[in-house]
Amino acid sequence: MPQKGIRAFLKHFFRNPLSTGAITPSSRTLGRKMGELIEPERVKIVAEFGPGTGAITPFILKRLKPDSRFFAVERNKEFYEIFRSKYKNLTIFHDSIEQLSPILKKLNIDKIETIVSSLPWASFSDQLQEHFLRLIHKILIPGGTFLTFAYIHGTILPSGRNLRSLLDKTFSSVEVSPIIWRNIPPAIIYKCKK
């Protein structure tokens, strides 16, 4: 199955690099670090945005409790299908996070405690970054956590700098992890608190 995930990533990266955002799924090291940043007292409702083929998902699942609720939203049809065949018992929507309001209505969920995102921020326009961050901020509980990563080479580009400044403006605190070298490409994680 990992081979299938890697093949799907390569195919979609070469067809549409901007919407895929990565040439290969995240490493286990990046997944583990993302999972470790999930606070155990904020796992009643956890969402994953842009799970791709589910490279980070097992590290999120490890942090959940028996009464936690989890759902994911993935826009790419093939990644969504691979995810569904891997994680038969998990809830995933084949949609864009732009459709969050109807998705939350369907699930009868008002607010989320923790959001783990792999959305390809560097591919988004400044306006789309702002729009998505507003959406995310709105659906988090006060004190809720938003985790997202950025590839280090992207952080010096205008889109990466714009993301950092929007995170600082939107959230009450933003912590940056050390560089995770064991990932292609190396990445940092932003841990943001509402």
Task: List residues near ligand SAM by CB under 6 A.
Answer: 19-22, 25-26, 49-52, 55-56, 73-76, 79, 96-97, 118-120
d(Cα 49, Cα 76) in Å, to the nearest integer? 12
Q: Which is nearer to ligand SAM, 55 or 192 (CB)?
A: 55
Length of the chain measured in residues: 194
For the CB of residue 153, give the shortest distance to ligand SAM in the complex, in Å.
14
What is the nearest approach in angstroms of ligand SAM to the Cβ of residue 100? 9
Are the C-beta atoms of 113 and 45 separated by less than 8 Å? Answer: yes
Nearest to ligand SAM of 17, 143 (CB atom):
17
Asked if residue 133 lies in contact with residue 165, where contact means CB atoms within 8 angstroms, the answer is no
Nearer residue to ligand SAM within complex by CB, 36 or 172: 36
Closest CB 79 distance from ligand SAM, rounded Å? 5
Nearer to ligand SAM, 35 or 144 (CB): 35
What's the min distance (Å) between Cβ of 89 and ligand SAM? 19
Name, in order, each residue with C-beta under 8 angstroms of 192's C-beta and a sequence gap of 6 or more: 145, 146, 147, 148, 167, 170, 171, 173, 174, 175
Of 111, 108, 57, 104, give the one whose Cα is nearest residue 82. 57
